[in-house]
Amino acid sequence: MALDAKIPEGPMDQKWANYKDHVKLVSPANKRKLEIIVVGTGLAGASAAATLAELGYKVKSFCFQDSPRRAHSIAAQGGINAAKNYQNDGDSVYRLFYETEKGGDFRSREANTYRLAQVSNNIIDQCVAQGVPFAREYGGVLANRSFGGTQVQRTFYAAGQTGQQLLLGAYGALERQVALGNVTMYSRHEMHDIVKIDGKARGIIARNLVTGKLERHFGHAVLICSGGYGNVFYLSTNAMGSNVTAAWKSHKKGAFFANPCYTQIHPTCIPVTGDHQSKLTLMSESLRNDGRIWVPKKKDDNRKPKDIPEDERDYYLERRYPAFGNLGPRDVTSRAAKERCDAGYGVGTTKKAVYLDFADAIKRYGKTEAHKRGLSNASENEIEVLGKSVVKEKYGNLFAMYEKITDENPYEVPMRIYPAVHYTMGGLWVDYELMTTVQGLYCLGEANFSDHGANRLGASALMQGLADGYFVIPYTLGNYMSGEIRTPAIPTTHPAFEEAENAVKERIEKLMNIKGNESVDSFHKRLGHIMWEKSGMARNEKGLTEAIEEIKALRKEFWENVRIPGGILEMNPELDKAGRVADFLELGELICRDALNRRESCGGHFREESQTPDGEAQRIDDEFSYVAAWEYTPEGEVLNKEQLTFDLVQPSQRSYK
Amino acid sequence: MNLTLKVWRQKNAETKGKFETFDVKNISSEMSFLEMFDVLNERLINEGKDPVAFDHDCREGICGACSMYIDGRAHGPWQKNTVCQLHMRAYKEGDTIVVEPWRSVAFPVIKDLMVDRKAFDRIIEAGGYISVNTGNAPDANDILVDRAKSEEAFDSAACIGCGACVAACPNGSAMLFVSAKVSQLALLPQGKPEKISRVLNMVDQMDKEGFGNCGNIYNCEAECPKGISVENIARMNREFLGASLSSEIQKRPVRVVDPMNEQG
């Protein structure tokens, strides 16, 4: 199938304006008759559902959590980018676009990324109007900070809880529409399949997780806003319930899955302590503004960090990347940590950790504070106390979280950190309008593939989720809906609903009837182990080939031996998990296939066979400058390619040196 | 370490619950409290028994899903903490731990330790937002906001909606939750236009849901994982009183004034 990205004509900076000027509209009287299903209530889903309801559409919103406010966007810490240039430091829409494109290792679609940068400013305006309490300067204006992979200060933030505040803003907007009767909210519901009629998405089959009953829901269009698939690795910074099911079911109903191998390993997470570990906790990238990353220069150095003198420390990021230092992009920074630990310089009990040290920042801030207060002869101790108070104001909640988990005080000893799975750049293929390869089926936010290429820069996920929901889909959906004004709501007694519901029912019964000997979690852990070892931070042909076979075998074993207690028509968290893990067992194989196909290194995808002499990722543009969009067929996954073209930027070897 | 757990088991909202006792063995002090439950559930599954149902999601203290009442304390023994961030080093060999769901008439039990907190969503529906449609916003720096006020608003906005305040309160009051949202929006210039209707409607909904009144006991503040201050309750009371006495009340979309019964 030829993929048409439907990129509008005109110069790059005019495309979105041209599109909006000419896109078909739906009259208010017709919007009232059109129904939209939104799956997921994170930043993308909540903002889309609220905005479409404000426009007058009838919206049904679904989430598996007990409240839409708990979607995992809530956990995003650091911030959200926008090209406001409030700091007068040379930022612009073009620069935000360029750095996002470069940060993604030139593997994203220019037109989408450019539009993202264009609407970024509107997002900040909207959120402030909603009462999002962003950090401010004493003069009352908004504050900004730096984030990895950029050289300007364009990140807006609310302490270390930016995602929480943005989501609560969108959640408020959503609940307002619920109160007005424009949105019907279905919490503790999970989407189990898409219903297609005459090639168009016309609804979903959802399971009420409290009663276990299956429900049929009609929509003129369906929006998948269900987040990323990082939990295919079992251990990740995602929430326990984060899953790929909605996207994967869409894939099996005809939506192509693009670049599944582009997975982001975040450099600053709290290291694993043991087999009991159920998830990993991120320490915001913003910490790299003030924290310096180092390991001992000596192998297997077991001294305490404070006993290691300055000249015996290797600040390896500052050494290797003097231009960006500790503020390099995530993929580069993660690999550098792995390189040091693999070479035997790791710290902590497991030796799979590096130090993130705030001692210098505490001194620096302490001196400034002392100066501000006119203390010309402040003692070292006074400076330290003052410095700690500044660091606490900036990162207090993160330091407290670290201490709770590790029982170590990061004001006194450096944090120990190690990379962990965090975000997935791959996802359902969408065109410029965010429509998948299924008519009427859209995909927004982390669940789609479009804006971040092979690596996402920090503070860009929140930007993309809200861009898609607040400012893109309200326009692009009209183009499709204008053709649907003559379609009356289709009754859910239609055979297509019946057939889809029966298939879902059969699958659930099949899972329950296995009655094997191994728990769902146990299978999930085994899958995660394969993925992390063979399709993690570094990949090679041998490992990926083995992984594909291992996952196939594991999947077979799962369907013969999984044990799910309880019944179907009741609250049964084990059954919920089983359905998700069954989908991860299919997705895992596709990730490895995609990684095997892409014999180049780019962004978060590092193929050991393709690196520069100094160990950096080596792209092969002639061969791989395309989006790999996988098509599900009964015979297996088929590769389709969307060739990437570059009008504004010239792909180059990415350098942060 | 080896521990004894007394856990509330309840099949669903319709049936009666009871405590069930479990011995858990070889628990590492590095585990989180929920990971200890993972270990227990893995064992129950292997024994062919029903695992303990509990709400949890982010496991990093921010989503507000986890909700266990442990030895008479909402979220357990640590201050400013959620259950998911409680670690087993808080316990010692041989301890007996009693684990219950949130207890409140407004939070019916769904199963075991899982409760229904939709009442909180309905209170937000009543006015916990600023009515600004997407696209209506002026430039973000057009309205300057006093930094101290902004920080105060942020402190109120840190609420994660977990319901610990309700569980900790002998009256089952939701005043801390409601006042945190009322305060956040009352402190910001953007929230001013709706301040009268917001506080009246949210308090009205809170009462309808069956939450109790504030008795100035302050258990809510002591148990709040995000350290939301009871000053918010005082602020809400002032806002409420001011709004109730306001001459503008008749001109606002206030639910307590029933338009069907208005004279005129």
Cross-chain residue pair A276–B31, CB shorter than 8 Å: yes
Interface test with B, best of A276, A283, A393, A581 (most B CBs within 10 A): A276
Q: Which helix (H) or strand (E) holds A314?
A: strand A313-314
Tokens of A513: 């009837």
Are residues A149 and A132 part of one domain?
A: yes
Spatial distance between the Cα atoms of A550 and A557, rounded to a whole number of angstroms: 10
Residue with tokens 């979690």: A521
Q: Which helix (H) or strand (E) holds A110?
A: helix A110-129
Are residues B208 and B96 part of one domain?
A: no
Spatial distance between the Cα atoms of B66 and B160, rounded to a whole number of angstroms: 11
pLDDT above 70 for B261: no
Spatial distance between the Cα atoms of B195 and A168, rounded to a whole number of angstroms: 18
Structural domain includes residue A390: yes
Are residues A292 and A245 part of one domain?
A: no
Spatial distance between the Cα atoms of A462 and A199, rounded to a whole number of angstroms: 32
Instruction: Report yes or no: A521 and A249 within 8 Å, Cβ to Cβ.
Output: no
Are residues A273 and A257 part of one domain?
A: no
What φ, ψ does residue B154 adopt, rounded to 5°? -65, -45
Stronger pLDDT, B252 or A272, i.e. the higher one:
A272
Instruction: Report yes or no: A434 and A443 within 8 Å, Cβ to Cβ.
Output: yes
- Report the CATH number that the domain containing residue B239 is assigned in CATH: 1.10.1060.10
* B219 to chain A, closest Cα gap in Å: 22
Q: How many distinct helices (H) and strands (E) make up chain A?
A: 18, 19
Show which of B80, B111, B142 is a domain's final residue: B111
Task: Show Cβ contacts of residue B48 under 8 Å, excluding neighbours closer than 6 positions.
Answer: A565
Are residues A511 and A468 part of one domain?
A: no
Tokens of A259: 């670049």
Are residues A586 and A511 part of one domain?
A: yes
Per-residue pLDDT reduced to its tens digit, B171-230: 999 999 999 999 999 999 999 999 999 999 999 999 999 999 999 999 999 999 999 999
Spatial distance between the Cα atoms of B73 and B62, rounded to a whole number of angstroms: 19
Tokens of A64: 């598996």
Residue A234 sits at the chain B interface (C-beta within 8 Å): no
- Report the CATH number that the domain containing residue A83 is assigned in CATH: 3.50.50.60
Cross-chain residue pair B63–A179, CB shorter than 8 Å: no
Spatial distance between the Cα atoms of A135 and A141, rounded to a whole number of angstroms: 9
- Report the CATH number that the domain containing residue A384 is assigned in CATH: 3.90.700.10
Tokens of A327: 């503020």
Model confidence band, residue B256 (pLDDT cutoffs 50, 70, 90): low
Are residues B93 and B55 part of one domain?
A: yes
Residue with tokens 């659930």: A508
What residues does B19 pair with on adjacent strands?
B8
The whole-chain average pLDDT of chain B stands at 94
In 3-state terms, what secondary structure has residue A515?
A: coil
How distant, in Å, are the alpha carbons of A438, A573, A589, A635 from that of A586?
Answer: 20, 21, 6, 14
Note the pLDDT of residue B258: 54
* pLDDT mean values, one per 10 residues, chain A (657 residues): 92 98 97 98 98 98 98 95 97 96 96 98 98 96 88 92 97 98 98 98 98 98 98 97 98 98 96 92 91 96 95 96 92 94 94 96 96 91 95 89 93 96 98 98 97 95 98 98 97 98 98 98 97 96 98 98 97 98 98 98 96 93 98 97 96 86
Are residues B93 and B19 part of one domain?
A: yes
Mean pLDDT (whole number) for B28-55: 96
Instruction: Report yes or no: A604 and A264 within 8 Å, Cβ to Cβ.
Output: yes
Buried b (16+ CB within 10 A) or exposed e, A621-650: beebbbbbbbbbeeeebeebebebeeeebe
Structural domain includes residue A41: yes
Handedness of CA A26, A32, A34, A35 (dihedral sign): positive
Are residues B95 and B122 part of one domain?
A: no
How many separate domains does chain A show?
3
Spatial distance between the Cα atoms of B222 and A78, rounded to a whole number of angstroms: 28
Per-window interface: B 177-206 vs A, CB < 8 A: 184-185, 188, 190-191
Q: How many other CB atoms are there within 10 angstroms of residue B111's CB atom?
A: 25
- Cα three-residue angle A286-A291-A294, rounded to 5 degrees: 130
Are residues B122 and B252 part of one domain?
A: yes
Are residues A403 and A292 part of one domain?
A: yes
In 3D space, the residue among A43, A38, A73, A72 whose CA is nearest the CA of residue A58 turns out to be A38
Cross-chain residue pair B147–A140, CB shorter than 8 Å: yes
Are residues B131 and B32 part of one domain?
A: no
Note the Cα A470 to chain centre separation in Å. 18
Instruction: Report yes or no: A88 and A440 within 8 Å, Cβ to Cβ.
Output: no
A73: containing domain: 12-262+425-481
Tokens of B177: 């939750």
What residues does A416 pair with on adjacent strands?
A355
Spatial distance between the Cα atoms of A641 and A573, rounded to a whole number of angstroms: 38
Please spell the DSSP secondary structure of A62-89, one letter per residue: E-SSSSGGGSGGGG--S-EE----TT-S
Among chain B residues, the shortest Cα distance to A282 is held by B60
Show which of A421, A444, A469 is a domain's final residue: A421
Are residues B164 and B220 part of one domain?
A: yes
Are residues A446 and A413 part of one domain?
A: no
Are residues B145 and B98 part of one domain?
A: no
Query: Which residues of chain A have a CB within 8 Å of the CB of B191?
Result: 131
Per-window interface: A 514-533 vs B, CB < 8 A: 517, 519, 521-522
Cross-chain residue pair B12–A571, CB shorter than 8 Å: yes
Cross-chain residue pair B117–A66, CB shorter than 8 Å: yes
Are residues B103 and B13 part of one domain?
A: yes
Spatial distance between the Cα atoms of A397 and A75, rounded to a whole number of angstroms: 12
Query: Which residues of chain B have a CB within 8 Å of the CB of A282?
Result: 60
Structural domain includes residue A634: no
Query: Which residues of chain A have a CB within 8 Å of the CB of B130?
Result: 129-131, 172
Cross-chain residue pair A240–B58, CB shorter than 8 Å: yes
Tokens of A649: 């930027």
Are residues B80 and B168 part of one domain?
A: no
Task: Show Cβ contacts of residue A148 under 8 Å, excluding neighbours closer than 6 positions.
Answer: A285, A288, A324, A327, A328, A329, A330, A333, A457, A458
How many separate domains does chain B show?
2
Show which of B78, B111, B144 is a domain's final residue: B111
Spatial distance between the Cα atoms of B262 and B254, rounded to a whole number of angstroms: 12
Are residues A369 and A325 part of one domain?
A: yes
Buried b (16+ CB within 10 A) or exposed e, B31-69: bbbbbbbbbbbbbbbeeeebbbbbbbbbbbbbbbbbbbb
B211: containing domain: 117-261
Look at strands A313-314 and A354-357 and give their pairing: unpaired
pTM score: 0.96
Show which of A401, A421, A441 is a domain's final residue: A421
Spatial distance between the Cα atoms of B228 and B155, rounded to a whole number of angstroms: 7
- Report the CATH number that the domain containing residue B68 is assigned in CATH: 3.10.20.30
Are residues B141 and B68 part of one domain?
A: no
Model confidence band, residue B264 (pLDDT cutoffs 50, 70, 90): very low
Spatial distance between the Cα atoms of B83 and B93, rounded to a whole number of angstroms: 20
Structural domain includes residue A380: yes
What is the crossing angle of helices A162-179 and A110-129, to 10°?
70
Per-window interface: A 577-616 vs B, CB < 8 A: none
Task: Show Cβ contacts of residue A399 under 8 Å, excluding neighbours closer than 6 positions.
Answer: A391, A392, A410, A411
Are residues A462 and A526 part of one domain?
A: no
A172, A281, A474 ranked by CB distance to B60: nearest: A281
Are residues A273 and A168 part of one domain?
A: no
Residue A126 sits at the chain B interface (C-beta within 8 Å): yes
Note the Cα B254 to chain centre separation in Å. 25
Query: Which residues of chain A have a CB within 8 Å of the CB of B158?
Result: 161, 164
Note the pLDDT of residue A446: 98
Note the pLDDT of residue B263: 44
Show which of B111, B129, B156 is a domain's final residue: B111
Are residues B141 and B20 part of one domain?
A: no
In 3-state terms, what secondary structure has residue A640?
A: strand
- A–B interface: beta-carbon pairs under 8 A: 213
Find the length of chain A.
Answer: 657
Cross-chain residue pair B129–A187, CB shorter than 8 Å: no
Structural domain includes residue A451: yes
Structural domain includes residue A196: yes
Are residues A475 and A503 part of one domain?
A: no
Structural domain includes residue A649: no
In 3D space, the residue among A472, A623, A654 whose CA is nearest the CA of residue A104 turns out to be A654
Handedness of CA A240, A241, A246, A248 (dihedral sign): positive
Query: Which residues of chain B have a CB within 8 Å of the CB of A57?
Result: none
Spatial distance between the Cα atoms of B58 and B56, rounded to a whole number of angstroms: 7
Structural domain includes residue A214: yes
Per-window interface: A 546-575 vs B, CB < 8 A: 563, 565-566, 570-571, 573-574
Are residues A437 and A417 part of one domain?
A: no
Phi/psi class of residue B163: alpha, beta or left (left: φ > 0; alpha: ψ in -120 to 50)? left
Instruction: Report yes or no: A143 and B151 within 8 Å, Cβ to Cβ.
Output: no
